[in-house]
């Protein structure tokens, strides 16, 4: 990069160091914004770390650490001999260091490809009849009058239903301890904005929900995966766990581990998010207790949930259950963003909660059959792939015997099916040999998807493995 371009970049960076947190995170955050906004174009070279460090009057290690973080996120590519460049992808927020989509969920929602079966977004595709009936009931109730409809903390009727829902599950809750959000993703975003500052550490499980990783990274947090709950003793700013049907592998935390995790959060004063978005999806019909059932009421454990996984992805109703003072702060922050959610959907969600057992039984019956069908087809067409049957949820966590899913996904896409690589779910970019497959399509569509994957695997694996010269070896 020549001197003029270097000066231009310095001007664009502006007062990048004026925030809170380590300098490398502040520099990475500003560069991230310039890349995501398209100000720094794909393929554009960035200054060598030593040159930029001298121009910014910081240690070279500050620039190196910022570049390394952006490479881990996939926003830049660093290669010896060719320097650092903005990664060549349309959606910076969905890249890995090799330019491969890190969060196909975001990529395919924003730019859905034509004529491709999307196994990337694991949300129900077929709204149940109960949803239509719930909206009909909501319309009737709306006729009774609901004032202005500006309710940053959520519709009172829905908050009361959610309070009763958690009370019945062993967590005494009042409506003042619930805020309704536009899906669980907004709940995560609001909580991150409130609780996480640049440079703070957020602890997660080794594999986790990509949307949470995006929220934490955009807050310039350091995301650190942990294998044991005891590491909460290191006092992160926030812990994020999915004890029930973890995304993507469907693991379920046992009750002793839940009790220990809640106790550690309280003992070390660490706010702990319990992501219960999948809590209603256990095939056994059981609902493991929320983490909040093991802590002092209202303290430390923050529970988030959503209607999108049980009912329909388009029903954008989520919530946070937490101590009343935190809910009040979230409501004030929410008001700045959108003044509150859409009322009719919240009334429909309240109606659905009143018939939750009926809706859950019907949905799980369908998904269990589709799960079994997908497992059968994978064993038949792709016997070298390995996976464990799911305990519930919507997905299987599948491991390839050879190669990596980032490159296989490109071959699969050419065969008409999109799969999310395992690295999307790993805070450190590991699990390159895994992919997450959902079983939400009807059986015939799942069969077609597996046939396409089998054809893609034959093309990918056949092209990778050397052909034997011995005529008798097959």
Q: Please tell me the class of the 104-122+359-464 domain.
A: alpha beta
Per-residue pLDDT, 227? 75
HSE (side-chain half, CA atoms, 13 Å) at 424: 32
Enter the pTM of the model. Answer: 0.82
Using CA atoms, how far residue 301 sits from 138, 413, 453, in Å, is 32, 41, 41
Residues 6+ apart with CB under 8 A from 469: none
Structure tokens at 6: 């270097």
d(Cα 364, Cα 392) in Å, to the nearest integer? 8
Q: Residue 55 in contact with residue 47, Cβ under 8 Å?
A: yes
* Dihedral angle computed from the Cα positions of residues 126, 316, 167 and 260, in that order, rounded to the nearest 10 degrees: 90
Q: What is the pLDDT along the chain (474 residues), one digit of tens a residue?
A: 444 478 889 889 988 887 777 888 889 888 988 988 888 988 899 999 999 999 999 999 999 989 988 887 778 888 877 789 998 754 333 344 333 344 555 555 555 666 889 998 888 988 999 999 999 999 998 877 667 788 999 999 999 999 999 999 999 999 999 999 999 999 999 999 999 988 889 999 999 999 999 899 888 888 999 876 666 667 899 999 999 999 999 999 999 999 999 988 888 889 999 999 999 999 998 889 999 999 765 568 999 999 999 999 999 999 999 999 999 999 999 998 888 889 999 999 999 999 999 999 999 999 999 999 999 999 999 999 999 999 999 999 999 999 999 899 999 999 999 999 998 899 988 899 999 999 999 999 999 999 999 999 999 997 665 433 333 332
For residue 134, the surrounding DSSP H or E stretch is: helix 129-142
Determine how β-strand 434-438 pairs with β-strand 395-399: antiparallel
**What Rg value do the Cα atoms of the chain yield, rounded?**
24
**Secondary structure (3-state) at 47:** coil
Sign of CA dihedral 373, 375, 379, 384: positive
Is 3-93 in CATH node 1.10.10.10? yes
d(Cα 299, Cα 265) in Å, to the nearest integer? 9
For tokens 């995006």, name the residue.
214
Using CA atoms, how far residue 333 sits from 157, 195, 260, 324, 358, in Å, is 21, 12, 32, 14, 35
Please calculate the CA angle 11-16-21 and round it to the nearest 5 degrees: 170
HSE (side-chain half, CA atoms, 13 Å) at 296: 8
Structure tokens at 432: 């390159």
Residues 6+ apart with CB under 8 A from 444: none
Per-residue pLDDT, 195? 95
Per-residue pLDDT, 113? 66
Per-residue pLDDT, 199? 82
Within 10 Å of residue 440's Cβ, how many Cβ atoms? Answer: 21
Closest among 25, 320, 426 to 197, alpha carbons compared:
25
Q: Which of the following CATH numbers is that of domain 133-354: 3.40.640.10, 3.30.70.240, 3.40.50.720, 3.40.50.300?
A: 3.40.640.10
Q: What is the SS3 string spanning 387-447?
A: CCCCCECCEEEEECCCCCHHHHHHHHHHCCEECCEHHHHCCCCCCCCEEEEECCCCHHHHH
Structure tokens at 103: 């969060």
Using CA atoms, how far residue 245 sits from 201, 215, 277, 283, 302, in Å, is 24, 21, 9, 10, 17
d(Cα 399, Cα 84) in Å, to the nearest integer? 32
Per-residue pLDDT, 473? 30
Q: Residue 258 in contact with residue 289, Cβ under 8 Å?
A: yes
Per-residue pLDDT, 104? 52
Please calculate the CA angle 230-234-236 and round it to the nearest 5 degrees: 105
User: Domain map of the chain by residue range?
Assistant: 3-93, 104-122+359-464, 133-354
Structure tokens at 454: 């089998």
Structure tokens at 146: 């609901």
């Amino acid at each position: 990069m020549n001197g003029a371009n270097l000066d231009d970049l310095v001007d664009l960076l502006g007062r990048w160091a004026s925030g809170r947190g380590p300098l490398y995170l502040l520099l990475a955050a500003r560069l991230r914004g310039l890349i995501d906004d398209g100000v720094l174009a794909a393929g554009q070279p960035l200054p060598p770390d030593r040159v930029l460090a001298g121009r910014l009057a910081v240690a070279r290690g500050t620039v190196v650490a910022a570049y390394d973080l952006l490479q881990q996120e996939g926003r830049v590519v660093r290669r010896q001999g060719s320097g650092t460049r903005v990664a060549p992808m349309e959606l910076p927020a969905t890249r890995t260091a090799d330019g491969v989509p890190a969060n196909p969920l975001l990529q395919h929602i924003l730019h859905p490809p034509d004529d491709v079966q999307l196994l990337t977004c694991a949300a129900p595709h077929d709204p149940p009849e109960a949803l239509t009936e719930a909206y009909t009931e909501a319309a009737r109730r709306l006729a009774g009058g609901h004032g202005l409809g500006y309710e940053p903390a959520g519709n009172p009727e829905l908050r009361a239903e959610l309070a009763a829902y958690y009370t019945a599950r062993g967590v005494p809750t009042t409506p003042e301890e619930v805020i309704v959000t536009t899906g669980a993703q907004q709940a995560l975003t609001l909580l991150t904005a409130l609780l996480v500052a640049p440079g703070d550490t957020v602890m997660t499980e080794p594999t986790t929900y990509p949307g949470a990783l995006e929220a934490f990274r955009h807050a310039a947090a350091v995301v650190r995966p942990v294998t044991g709950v005891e590491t909460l003793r290191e006092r992160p700013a926030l812990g994020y766990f999915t004890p029930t049907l973890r995304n993507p592998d469907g693991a379920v935390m046992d009750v002793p581990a839940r009790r220990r995790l809640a106790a550690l959060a309280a003992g070390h004063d660490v706010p702990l998010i319990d992501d219960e978005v999948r809590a209603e999806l256990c095939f056994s019909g059981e609902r493991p207790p929320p983490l909040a059932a093991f802590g002092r009421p209202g303290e430390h454990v923050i529970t988030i949930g959503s209607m999108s996984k049980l009912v329909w992805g388009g029903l954008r109703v989520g919530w946070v259950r937490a101590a009343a003072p935190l809910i009040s702060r979230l409501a004030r922050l929410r008001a700045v963003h959108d003044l509150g959610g859409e009322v009719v959907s919240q009334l429909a969600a309240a109606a659905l909660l009143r018939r939750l057992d009926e809706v859950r039984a019907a949905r799980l019956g369908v998904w269990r059959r589709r799960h079994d069908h997908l497992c059968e087809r994978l064993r038949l067409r792709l016997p070298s792939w390995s996976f464990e049957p799911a305990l519930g949820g919507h997905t299987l966590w599948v491991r390839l015997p050879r190669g990596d899913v980032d490159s296989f996904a490109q071959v699969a896409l050419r065969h008409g099916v999109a799969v999310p690589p395992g690295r999307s779910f790993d805070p450190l970019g590991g699990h390159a040999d895994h992919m997450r497959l959902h079983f939400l399509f009807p059986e015939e569509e799942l069969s077609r998807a597996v046939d396409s994957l089998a054809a893609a695997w034959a093309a990918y694996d056949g092209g990778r493995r050397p052909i034997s010269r011995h005529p008798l070896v097959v």
